[in-house]
Amino acid sequence: MTGALDGIKVVDLSRILAGPWASQMLADFGAQVIKIERPSTGDDTRLWGPPFIASASSKQPPQAAYFHCANRNKQSLALDISSTQGQQIIKSLIEDADVLIENYKVGGLKKYGLDYHSLQQLNPKLVYCSITGFGQDGPCAHKAGYDAMIQGEGGLMSLTGQSDGEPMKVGVALVDIMTGLYSCNAILAALLARGKTGRGETSQGEIGQGQHIDIALLDVQIAALANQGMNYLTTGENPARLGNGHPNIVPYQTFATVDGSLILAVGNDLQFERLCQVAQHQTLAQDPRFKTNAARVKHRTELIPLLAKIIAANSTQYWVKLLEQVAVPCGPVNTLEQVFNHPQIKHRNMVRQLTNEQGEEIVTVASPINLSQTPLQYHSAAPALGQHNEKILSQQLGYSADEISLLRQQGIIS
């Protein structure tokens, strides 16, 4: 079986996480993704450890586990794009490419002739995705953006943490990951809008038109405020931090048990009644303060201590077993060791084995996407820096062995 994006060629000029997350999704779908990296050092995240999957050598930088989370199924071309020859190689790759992804500062690629307007003239069907902190225009467009600062500036940290504690960021780079997901969706939409049926042609045989995608981390964070954003726009009041509580549903949070923590996600009044029955405190469900969700939200400070005392008397599994029998959503708060040993995670094949350049097995977390007719591809681990230099230059661009050797001597490739 071929992948859903078989025949799509992606030139990836992005680094760190948001862009590589998007391009990894495209690679999983079967696209050819050529990752352009700096000679000698490569993507910054190769160095973001420990832990490291591979140590540095005389010819290679180290390979941090971080780098491997977002770069499987790609080809690495270690290329100095600040050089005239390096720019020409990029342009040669762009001539028949479908997508370019970049996360340089606004206008940063124009001096190399690799900006959207320059490359669009070279290849009108190119879908060009720019990822920045604040967007291509506006008073903050010139600023660099990083996940943690965007979590702060975009309001997410103000919502996260204990009510009497300091604002907290999420435990993973969530804004970068969401930006990668939005970017991938936008790229797929642009490919559909272009009328993609083969090598850039519509069903009538006409060349499809590409476009420029402008994705900003701050915009993504604002969009992902979801119900909290609407809560503010509706009331004009800043939502308070509620720890593990929910602003619109009660009880919907963690509770301490004898041996750990339980997450309760009681989504309606019937589920609350069942919870009270299992807990042998049916009177709570009849109390006017707690009978409806709206009442429970209003009186959360009275209800939560009562539930906390009840739940603390037994183990996590005690509650999980009883509550699952009456269809009350709940679960344990697992460590990652427990997560990766979870029978459902194992059944769903969420951990895969991939092979690197040396033939070694590398474990990776799989994509959650399952397609019946065009299954996702898992053909290679994240590449070594410049692993595909010769293959790309010789097979795709027609460079001779001597020309490739000269590029290496000049430091244009590594």
CB of 43 within 8 A of CB of 20?
A: yes
Dist CA 131 CA 79 (whole Å): 21
Which one, of 340, 335, 343, lies nearest residue 364 by Cα? 340
Name the token pair of 237: 């009041």
96 carries an active-site annotation: no
Active-site entry in 28, 43, 147, 176: 176
Q: What is the dihedral of CA 9, 15, 16, 17, to 10 degrees?
A: -30
141 to each of 22, 110, 117, 153, 215, how far by Cα in Å? 22, 15, 18, 14, 12
The strand pairing partners of 63, in sequence order, are 54
Q: How far is CA 175 from the centre of its chain?
A: 8
Strands (E), 31-148: 32-37, 52-54, 63-64, 75-78, 99-102, 127-132
Dist CA 3 CA 56 (whole Å): 34
Catalytic residues: 176
